[in-house]
Amino acid sequence: MKYQKILIAGEWRDSTDPVGSFHGLDPAKKQWLDAEFPISGSAEVFAMIEAGKIAAKEMRSVSPEKIAAFLEQYAFNIEAKETQLTDVAHNETALPVEPRLKSIELPRTINQMRQAALAVRERSWCLATLDTKSNIHAKYGALGSPVVVFGPNNFPFAFNSMAGSDFVSAIAAGNPVIAKANPGHPETTKIFAEAAFEALKSSGLPLSSIQLFYHTPPEVGLQLVSHPGIGATAFTGSKSAGLKLKEAADRAGKPIYLEMSSVNPVVLMPGALRDHSEQIATEFYQSCSMGAGQFCTNPGILILQDNEDGKEFVQNIINLYRINPPGILLSASGPSSLSHSVGVLKKAGAEVLIGGKEADREGYSFENTLLSVSGDVFIEHSEKLQSEMFGTATLLVLIKNPEQMVEVVESFSGNLTASIYSDRKGEDEELYQKIEPVLRIKVGRLLNDKMPTSVSVVSSMNHGGPFPATGHPGFTAVGIPGSFLRFAGLQCYDNVRANRLPPELQDKNPTGAMWRLIDGHWSVGNVN
Amino acid sequence: MKYQKILIAGEWRDSTDPVGSFHGLDPAKKQWLDAEFPISGSAEVFAMIEAGKIAAKEMRSVSPEKIAAFLEQYAFNIEAKETQLTDVAHNETALPVEPRLKSIELPRTINQMRQAALAVRERSWCLATLDTKSNIHAKYGALGSPVVVFGPNNFPFAFNSMAGSDFVSAIAAGNPVIAKANPGHPETTKIFAEAAFEALKSSGLPLSSIQLFYHTPPEVGLQLVSHPGIGATAFTGSKSAGLKLKEAADRAGKPIYLEMSSVNPVVLMPGALRDHSEQIATEFYQSCSMGAGQFCTNPGILILQDNEDGKEFVQNIINLYRINPPGILLSASGPSSLSHSVGVLKKAGAEVLIGGKEADREGYSFENTLLSVSGDVFIEHSEKLQSEMFGTATLLVLIKNPEQMVEVVESFSGNLTASIYSDRKGEDEELYQKIEPVLRIKVGRLLNDKMPTSVSVVSSMNHGGPFPATGHPGFTAVGIPGSFLRFAGLQCYDNVRANRLPPELQDKNPTGAMWRLIDGHWSVGNVN
């Protein structure tokens, strides 16, 4: 067959109505890769919805234990394909095999799959609430329709539409998934799908509960997220694509969870710079250059005072940006997109301190870039100056006094994260207390003395934030139960006979370990 | 002064830019009431947003105890105005003082305010999550911007924009409220605002944390819900108005919680009709006629088998609809709107069994109305036949066999509730097991052997449901913590120094009664 097969309705099949085709690209060599993938048209995508609807119905009678076992088997299959996955992902993304792909991202992907399996088995995530006096009970439950997942280009494993947090969360909550591969790593996604489908066959889950296509024209994407037959969509990617999908989904009344853009401001308070300038510079450079700067939580704006300490710090990071080679970007559009963003910032009054143009090295690359702007100019053109630069490119905002730091922060729109570095003696405390309340409501995750690029997979994690970082300030893409609850509806049972209640709401605790809110008390016990 | 004052920026003031005015209407006498209320233009509404933004900032340092005390004092003030409130609301809505306004709706309103106060004081609602190993903590917290509340016409107390669940939930979560009165009961809303403002003055909350206007042109409503300065909107009302507001809010990335429409299907299984026909008929009539049928949870579609039992039941309810006088509707548009809906259903193939036109009695009224349609026709024209009739008007769907019952139910769109009546001997059980999974994912609350019109104020309540009943299947307008969480963002603290954490996330449990998820265990204790 000419094209790679898609996974549809329980089998690997040739695309029946490809509207085109594409190849993966090796960004390090600027060479197309061999395999050719179909671009699916609407008939094929709609056929997936129909198969997904049937699978959703069947999944209602699949026990959580089976879903957990599927996730565990899938994690095991991924481990067995470690070398294949990291090699292929490296070819498709130029991300280094070590440490990034093999020692960081793949273990994290497997870890979050296993965490999800445990949570599915324990069942606490569904927030079962029992009011025994009124005989009313509620829990979160599967949407009853397939969930569509669009994965981003920058995490071929941990946010892969076939293996990442959105995929795992949707399945964990009991929904089938229709995954659209990111065209930046189609082969990686195909290998995941093969591992998943192998696990699926012996799991007792419907064979159509995971489906995969590789690409589709934008208008079909809009039809998909607004289709009556789907339950919800998760999208991680660019703001422009995200906003278009959001509009289509919103109009149809379909939930859509978006992670779109974030400049992740880092605030360096005067005392922090005085005491730890060099250490912060190193941390900052490491955070900015991780994955060639292509992280959702990459620190894109750094705020510091334009005094002696500030000048010294800026000189330090200019040096770090100069002596370290730039990384290879994920795609051919990387350098031009960065050039464009740098242009937008320059036009709005920012000055290039170093870098600012495509790098003269093999592969798609862009010079490590620093721009700077005064606090006055930032406040005046804050919208433009908050344009995301997807790479190792940071805007320094040099403020004239601590009061202006507050003003600058007030002009921020919604972000995933914000970090505040302050001294240890309490000299920055007054300023912290002024800035924290302003930042707190603008970001999902607030950090102290730490760069934002590490996202721990724990219950308290919020990998989300107010619009336009995402579409809603109350949801997270990482962290159980929050990430699962996005793909569930609140299901209340009023006066429903005991034998007809789902096991999670019956008197006996179904696992002996499931936390339930019984008459206002959280408990792992039975109803007395 | 010519017009009633609005409550803006901490004081009762004359409207500065009224674009018109209106009067309340006594629907029983079809007479305009004396007081004249301003229709606010955009400048005034925007001024409220500015005052609300400042109040939101100030509220960050207001303790939960003060918010709880405000709600309790407000509840106390409402009790003191019981006679005034019920008299005025009766004049404005024609709802009977007894039992509805005085013995049911006002006590419920006060009760949910006191429940909210207790919850605010205990603090469990914010779902504090502590991961001590990674030093990451999270909780839900105020949006940091005012919340806009549009109240419906049908609950002058319990869903009043100045006293109902949305108002209370938004304040409880720490947000200022900008309330738009429902023009059906402006005077009632003004009395609430007076009681609230009196409580506010001694509470320590900012004086601009509650504001009230009475009416505004539709375009200003759209500007309001999409304004960068607001945090979120709650709307209860018609689907047409709700969808317009939703589109504006969605485009601006502003959360909006809508309760728009629901036909609340009631399924009578063959055994239930055989065993309890008369009792169900009585319950059904009572539920349908409550509040002259103007309930969000009014049963608008009844599904039963077209056999001997079914025919007898239909005859029973025709009799009940005939011998009982119709109620008075809330507004002048009530009868015409019902006429229109009946017309839509007739055009789609439904037949009028009784009623169907404006009633010949004093006040705005519409005959108790029953329509019927076969299962075949319903399946063919299910969209049109699911049009909401806001009054005592029900569509009977007469199905030819149990299998068709499943098909009919499959054609439903999202609803707040669905009820299933079945026999006690288990003869309906097989059919129940077929129908329940279909209905479960289409409604927020599933009932057994009970009509849907009573909404208990308990944690497990879901007064919500999939689109188009509301805008999202995971949120509820009634029930703590769900109703509060709509007006909160997920706020994660990563590596934040202990003394800078909010009290809810520090080692010591701030109330000794607050439930927190500490390292995967729910507890009211301290961190060890």
B461 neighbourhood in chain A, CB within 8 Å: 136, 138, 492
Mean pLDDT of chain A: 97
Residues A490-514 as b or e (16 or more Cβ within 10 Å = b): bbbbbbbeeebbbebbbeebbbeeb
Using the beta-carbon criterion (under 8 Å), do A448 and B497 form an inter-chain contact? yes
Closest CA to A171 of A74, A102, A27: A74
Determine the Cα–Cα distance for residues A460 and A437; give it in Å rounded to an integer. 20
Using the beta-carbon criterion (under 8 Å), do B250 and A255 form an inter-chain contact? no
Provide ipTM, 2 decimals: 0.98
Helix and strand counts by DSSP (H, E) for chain A: 16, 21
Mean pLDDT of chain B: 97
Helix and strand counts by DSSP (H, E) for chain B: 16, 21
pLDDT of residue A174: 98
pLDDT of residue A528: 85
Is A395 a residue whose pLDDT tops 70? yes
Give residue-wise pLDDT tens across range A13-44: 999 989 999 999 999 999 999 999 999 999 99
Is the CB of residue A77 less than 8 Å away from at least one CB of chain B?
no
A520 vs B90, B458, B524, CA distance in Å? 36, 10, 12
Q: Phi then psi for A256, rounded to 5 degrees?
A: -140, 130
A527 vs A120, A507, B275, CA distance in Å? 21, 5, 32
Give residue-wise pLDDT tens across range B43-70: 999 999 999 999 999 999 999 999 999 9
- pLDDT band, residue B528 (cuts 50/70/90): confident
Pairing outcome for strands B20-26 and B31-39: antiparallel
Determine the Cα–Cα distance for residues A495 and B449; give it in Å rounded to an integer. 7
Residues B206-221 as b or e (16 or more Cβ within 10 Å = b): bbbbbbbbbbbeeebb
pLDDT of residue A167: 98
Widest pairwise Cα distance in chain B: 73
For residues A272 and B497, the answer to whether their CB atoms sit within 8 Å is no
End-to-end CA distance of chain B: 62
Is the CB of residue B352 less than 8 Å away from at least one CB of chain A?
no
Using the beta-carbon criterion (under 8 Å), do B448 and A144 form an inter-chain contact? no
> How does DSSP classify residue A41?
-
For residues A375 and A267, the answer to whether their CB atoms sit within 8 Å is no
pLDDT of residue B1: 56
Is A260 a residue whose pLDDT tops 90? yes
- Rounded to a whole number of angstroms, the distance from the CA of A25 to the nearest CA of chain B is 35
End-to-end CA distance of chain A: 62
DSSP string, B10-71: TEEE--SS-SEEEEEEETTTTEEEEEEEEE--HHHHHHHHHHHHHHHHHHTTS-HHHHHHHH
Give residue-wise pLDDT tens across range B469-511: 999 999 999 999 999 999 999 999 999 999 999 999 999 999 9
pLDDT of residue A1: 56
From edge to edge, which strands make up the β-sheet containing A256-259?
A11-13, A6-8, A210-213, A177-180, A147-150, A232-236, A256-259
Residue A82 C-beta-side C-alpha neighbours within 13 Å: 17
Is A59 a residue whose pLDDT tops 80? yes
- pLDDT band, residue B236 (cuts 50/70/90): very high
Please compute the mean of the pLDDT values over residues A289-307 and round it to a whole number. 96
Closest CA to A154 of A186, A184, A193: A184
Give residue-wise pLDDT tens across range A80-97: 999 999 999 999 999 999
Q: Which residue of A has its CA nearest to B127?
A: A460
- Which residues lie across from A516 on neighbouring strands? A523
pLDDT of residue A2: 86
Please compute the mean of the pLDDT values over residues A160-184 and round it to a whole number. 98
Using the beta-carbon criterion (under 8 Å), do A447 and B138 form an inter-chain contact? no
Closest CA to A74 of A108, A119, A117: A117
Q: Phi then psi for B394, rounded to 5 degrees?
A: -130, 145
Q: Which residue has the tokens 């706020």?
A: B491
Is B2 a residue whose pLDDT tops 90? no
Catalytic residue from among A259, A283, A367, A388:
A259
Catalytic residue from among A105, A296, A367, A504:
A296
CA torsion A515-A517-A520-A522 (nearest 10°) is 0
- Lowest-confidence range among B1-5, B21-25, B63-67, B300-304? B1-5
CA torsion A37-A39-A42-A45 (nearest 10°) is 30
A297 neighbourhood in chain B, CB within 8 Å: none
pTM across the whole model: 0.97
Which of B432, B448, B490 is opposite residue A474, by nearest beta carbon?
B490
Q: Which of B139, B410, B460, B480 to mutate against chain A (most A CBs within 10 Å)?
A: B460
Residues A331-349 as b or e (16 or more Cβ within 10 Å = b): beebbebbbebbeebeebb
> Counting beta carbons within 10 angstroms of the beta carbon of residue B66, is it exposed (0 to 12), middle (13 to 18) or buried (19 or more)?
middle
Give residue-wise pLDDT tens across range B349-359: 999 999 999 99
Residue A279 contacts by C-beta under 8 Å, 6 or more apart in sequence? none
pLDDT of residue A34: 96
Is A355 a residue whose pLDDT tops 90? yes
Is A118 a residue whose pLDDT tops 70? yes
Using the beta-carbon criterion (under 8 Å), do B458 and A134 form an inter-chain contact? yes
